[in-house]
Structure formats: structure tokens, C-alpha cells
Amino acid sequence: MAKTEKTPSAKARKDDKNGYEAELRALQIELVKLQRHVIAQEKKLLIILEGRDTAGKDGTIKRIIEHLSPRDIRVVALPKPSDREATQWYFQRYTAHLPAAGEIVLFNRSWYNRAGVEHVMGFCTGEEYSQFLLHVPVLENMLVQDGMIILKYYLDIDRKEQKRRLEGRRHDPLKQWKISPIDEKALAHFDDYTKARDAMLRQTDSAAAPWIVVRAEDKKTARLAIIADLISRIEYHGASPKDTRKNIVCRFDEVCFTNGMLAG
């Protein structure tokens, strides 16, 4: 007789929740220390979060900024460009939001829209796409040479998990604002987004601004892993080292395409 899979007990669920909250609190304390360092040393920190629709960018950002000084941290999530912005230098509307000394800025999607949704959905020309892939490493290198710290995270989930999360949004009244016509087409274009992701990672990864890949099927684990990785990449006073969970978050290289870090 086959064994039936047991549902976790209420105590097990409570223990998991308590463990997650305790680890999150410890990491958020480190984020406060990190922000103090950024302010005191007048650092410029740019954190870019990219990834598939429903991969967990919003929830991760919420936990990063939750206990930080709102005067010194900003979240940038730009809407569709206006008719005027569409005639500007592509990077222009993004560079206006870059951090000044003592600031942390998080881009919830970024100029990499051109390598993802714009390319897949035909919102830019082939030439514009090719020029972007050539120009963005140059821009990021210039920013780093000027003293900016750039951390780029790509959150990835597989087709099955994306479908589950999209269906959850449709039935959750608190998540209705997240639904968009583009999201509705995400599953139909899953393979197209995979190809665009692979090209983007290969062509825009650099020593100055490397891509950091995140396996995000488990939202809570991914959040903890991203924050632990983030604080490990910057030296700051009083830092308490945390487990960086290299099976969840790692520096991008070609092995990521075959070892399960990126969905096929």
C-alpha cells in the first residue's frame, strides 16, 4: 500500500513561520547596519531586481525596505513611457532616479525591460534591442567607475509555479492590482522569455555589474537568500556573517543553465 503524504501539522507550520520570521529579523537588522554605512560613507547603492512575472520581486523589496529609513531609500517602478519619454535617449528616464551619495535605490524592473518584455512583445525594434545589449554594460561600467555599487538580481521560477501564482492573483482580491495584460501573456510566451533571459544574462553580465541568479520557487527562502547575499557583498561596520544559501542564490555563469538554477 502506497504511503500517503502527510500534511504538515499546525505545530510544524508554526515552527516554520517562527523560524522564517526570526531569520528575517536578523537579516533586517543587518540591513539597518548596512544603510547606516551607506549614509555615513556617502555610498551610492543601486539594487536591480528583474525576473519573470510573479517571481517575487515585490515581496522581496517589501522585506528589504521594511525597517530602513525612508528618507534614504527609494523604490523605482516606472510605468509605460509617455509619448515624450519614448523619444528620449532610452536610459534617460532611468538615470534620473539613480542614487545620490548616501542613498539606496531599488529598481523594481529597470532598463532591462528592453531585453525582456519590450523585446518579447515587440515593443522595440530589433535594432533598438541589439543596441541596448551593447550599450548597457558600458553604461553600468561608467556608473561603477564613478563610485556606484550595482547589484543585479534575476529571480527565476518554472512554468508550473508561474501558472500557479498567476491563478492565485486572479482569485485574491488583495492582488488584483498586480494583474496586467502583459502578465496574462506571460505563460503563452514562457519559452520566448526564456530565450530573452538567456541572451540578456550572457551579454550584459560583467565584472563591474555581475548578474546574481535566484531560484525563487519558494518565496520565503528566496527573500532570505537575497537579503543574505546582498549584505555579504558590501563591507560595513559590525557585520554579522549570514548563510548565503549558494543553492538558491549564485553569481551567474554558464553552469546556471544546466544545474537547475535557471528554469528551462
CATH code (residue 133): 3.40.50.300
Which pLDDT does position 56 carry in this prediction?
96
**Is there a domain that residue 198 lies in?**
yes
Q: What is the mean pLDDT of residues 16-30?
A: 94
C-alpha cell at 75: 523604490
pLDDT reading at 114 higher than 50 = yes
Within a domain: 12: no
Which of 12-26, 32-46, 70-84 is predicted with the least confidence, judged by mean pLDDT? Answer: 12-26
**Residue 11 is assigned to a structural domain of this protein:** no
Least confident span in 218-222, 227-231, 237-241: 237-241
Comparison of pLDDT for 13 and 36, the residue scoring more? 36
When the pLDDT of each residue in the chain is averaged and rounded to a whole number, the result is: 93
C-alpha distances in angstroms, 5 versus 2, 60, 164? Answer: 9, 30, 20
Mean pLDDT of 236-241: 91
Q: Does the pLDDT at position 65 exceed 80? A: yes
Q: Is residue 248 part of a domain?
A: no
Percentage of the residues of the chain whose pLDDT score is greater than 90: 82
Cα 121 from Cα 129, distance rounded (Å): 12
Mean pLDDT of 191-208: 98
User: Is residue 1 very low, low, confident or very high in pLDDT (cuts 50, 70, 90)?
Assistant: very low
Q: Do the domain assignments include residue 146? A: yes
Summarize the confidence of residues 146-170 as an average pLDDT. Answer: 95
Give Cα separations from 102 to 40, 43, 143 (angstroms).
7, 5, 15
Task: Tell me how many domains the chain contains.
Answer: 1
The confidence score (pLDDT) of residue 3 equals 47
Res. 8 pLDDT band, cuts 50 70 90: low
Cβ–Cβ < 8 Å for 44, 104: no
Task: Give the Cα separation of 248 and 264 in Å (integer).
Answer: 16
Q: Is residue 135 part of a domain?
A: yes
Domain span at 208: 34-213+223-243
Q: Looking at the predicted structure, is the pLDDT value of residue 197 above 50? A: yes
Place 2 in a pLDDT band, splitting at 50, 70 and 90: very low
Least trusted range by pLDDT, from 121-125, 143-147, 186-190? 186-190
Kindly state whether residue 8 falls inside one of the protein's structural domains. Answer: no
Give the pLDDT score at 92.
98
**213: CB partners within 8 A, 6+ apart:** 154, 156, 201, 249, 250, 251, 252, 256, 261, 262
In one letter, which amino acid is 215? Answer: R
pLDDT number for residue 242: 80
Residue 263 domain-assigned (yes or no): no
Which is it for strands 211-215 and 73-76: parallel, antiparallel or unpaired? unpaired
Pick from 50, 46, 231, 47: nearest CA to 156: 50
